[in-house]
């Protein structure tokens, strides 16, 4: 039985990362989304006794998830007919019920898929804190969004409230905030500026490969390697 089940919802590629549309053609944008998913899953695989599930209706996303060693849950019936703004949360609720039906005592981590600079040790640190506390969130680098909802040591239903301003909603619902720096785990990529910060932190191999190919269209240099694993510096744009 896994000790933790990581749930990663991914929308259809045609709908993903619209705020990058001015900088990247649709196919390049889709390739970047898939690469960031690969690097996010790679970091999550570094957790001890972890099972990973990607929730999606997109066949290309599903193929990448399977190649990365994750299970795939096609958007369940509970998601159909739900307003698009809440479809991610509906998918996570259904996936959490499915995971707990398989392993009643498993800890849950609802994780965003666009974390190309995340490290396994950051996820492990957040998970360790949540196991001592219960329900916690990792707020994003702006302080308003949520990159991870950790649901540990409880059998209460998962109540994800992702979307704009989600950190405040999660905290209002009883979650506590992880306070550690965790710069890679906090950096979800929505804009070109976010992507530039991720590059400076050091992105995973899949994202680096895509950026090497499409980097001429972006306003920053695109190195091909991760940040050294023990580096701890945080760019000025990440300070809060």
- Tell me the domains of the chain and their CATH numbers: 4-186 (3.90.550.10)
**CA angle in degrees (0–180, nearest 5) for 180-33-166:** 45
Encode pLDDT of 17-56 as tens digits: 878 888 788 899 999 999 999 999 999 999 999 999 999 9
166 is in an annotated binding site: yes
Do strands 135-139 and 176-177 pair parallel, antiparallel, or not at all (unpaired)?
parallel
216 is in an annotated binding site: no
Which residues fall within 8 angstroms of residue 104, CB to CB, at 6 or more apart?
Answer: 155
* Mean pLDDT of the chain, nearest integer: 88
Tokens of 50: 């972890």
- Its pTM stands at 0.89
pLDDT tier, 162 (very low <50, low <70, confident <90, very high otherwise):
very high
Encode pLDDT of 211-229 as tens digits: 998 865 666 666 544 544 4
pLDDT tier, 68 (very low <50, low <70, confident <90, very high otherwise):
very high
pLDDT for 214: 85
* Contact criterion met (CB below 8 Å) for 43 and 87: no
232 is in an annotated binding site: no
- Among 196, 145, 207, 183, smallest CA distance to 23 is for 196
Region 173-184: what's the mean pLDDT? 97
Do strands 146-151 and 176-177 pair parallel, antiparallel, or not at all (unpaired)?
unpaired
Tokens of 6: 């990581």
pLDDT for 20: 83
Which of 78-87's residues contact partners 24+ apart within 8 Å by CB, and which partners?
85/163, 86/163, 87/11
């Amino acid at each position: 039985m896994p000790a933790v089940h990581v749930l990663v919802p991914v929308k259809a590629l045609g709908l993903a990362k619209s705020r990058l549309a001015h900088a990247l053609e649709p196919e390049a944008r889709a390739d970047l989304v898939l690469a960031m998913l690969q690097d996010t899953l790679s970091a999550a695989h570094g957790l001890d006794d972890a099972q990973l599930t990607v929730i999606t209706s997109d066949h290309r996303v599903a193929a990448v998830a399977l190649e990365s060693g994750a299970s795939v849950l096609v958007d369940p019936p509970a998601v159909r007919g739900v307003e698009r703004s809440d479809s991610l949360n509906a998918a996570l609720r259904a996936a959490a019920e499915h995971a707990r039906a398989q392993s009643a005592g498993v800890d849950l981590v609802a994780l965003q898929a666009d974390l190309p600079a995340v490290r396994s040790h950051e996820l492990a640190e957040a998970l360790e804190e949540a196991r001592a506390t219960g329900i916690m969130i990792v707020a994003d680098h702006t302080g308003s969004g949520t990159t991870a909802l950790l649901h540990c040591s409880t059998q209460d239903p998962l109540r994800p409230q992702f979307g704009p301003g989600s950190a405040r909603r999660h905290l209002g619902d009883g979650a506590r905030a992880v306070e550690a720096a965790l710069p890679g785990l906090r950096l979800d990529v929505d804009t070109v500026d976010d992507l530039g910060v991720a590059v400076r932190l050091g992105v995973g191999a899949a994202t680096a490969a895509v950026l090497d190919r499409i980097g001429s269209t972006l306003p920053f240099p695109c190195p091909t390697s991760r940040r050294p694993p023990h580096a701890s510096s945080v760019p000025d744009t990440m300070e809060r």
